[in-house]
Amino acid sequence: MDYLLQSIQGSAFSHWAQSSLYPIVVTLHAIGLAMLVGLLTVIDLRVLGFARQLPLPALRQFMNGAWIGFWINAASGAVLFSIDAKKDFYSGLFRVKLTVIAAGVILAKVIDSNVLSVSDAPAAIEPTARAKLLALASLLCWTGAIVSGRLLAYSTFGDVGAE
């Protein structure tokens, strides 16, 4: 495993990315975050009861923007991983981040197909308690992804807070 991580980190691509792409890649990662988490947060808060006037089915169209943000971040995240493969792979924060992202993606899919696709009027206005639980879990996952991702930037092999 270490050999694989070392060869990713030592590859010509990784060096090139680190020396000339790094500012652009972290900027793309922030833009993707704003699209993905921003739009999903609006949807989750609406499910939880904020801005009740917004019809839920119409909000589905904003899922596309969230998925564009997701793919921007999957791609930019892969480049960032290649720069710090070994540190990231052995970081607890990185593992937490990947786990909550996976959970968040599944929750977004479930909310999209089970909560937003309601066509009957009552459910479009007041989602069920189960739907609200899903939205709350989604918000927690994405908050966790932001926090673990940010702290990862300040960690050196796991000791968080040592700038």
Q: Binding other proteins by CB under 8 A: which of 18, 99, 114, 143?
A: 143
Residues 85 and 83: their CA atoms lie apart, in Å, by 6
Question: Candidates 5-13, 78-86, 130-138, 143-151 — which segment interacts with other proteins by CB under 8 A?
Answer: 143-151
The string of DSSP letters for 95-147 reads: HHHHHHHHHHHHHHHHIIIIITT--SHHHHHS--HHHHHHHHHHHHHHHHHHH
Site for other proteins in 21-80 (CB under 8 A): 22-23, 26-27, 30-31, 33-35, 37-42, 45, 50-51, 53-55, 57-59, 61-62, 65
Least CB distance from residue 111 to other proteins, whole Å?
15
Question: Candidates 70-78, 81-89, 110-118, 155-163 — which segment interacts with other proteins by CB under 8 A?
Answer: 155-163
Facing residues of 159 across strands?
156
Place of tokens 């691509």: 13
Least CB distance from residue 85 to other proteins, whole Å?
22
Q: CB of 55 within 8 A of CB of 117? A: no
Asked if 137 is part of the footprint of other proteins (rule: CB under 8 A), the reply reads no
Neighbours of 32 (CB within 10 A): 21
Least CB distance from residue 23 to other proteins, whole Å?
4
Facing residues of 156 across strands?
159
Going by the DSSP 8-state scheme, the letter that residue 62 receives in this structure is G
Going by the DSSP 8-state scheme, the letter that residue 18 receives in this structure is I
Nearer to other proteins by C-beta: 129 or 159? Answer: 159
Length of the chain: 163
Residues that bind other proteins (CB under 8 A): 22-23, 26-27, 30-31, 33-35, 37-42, 45, 50-51, 53-55, 57-59, 61-62, 65, 142-143, 146-147, 149-151, 153-154, 160-163
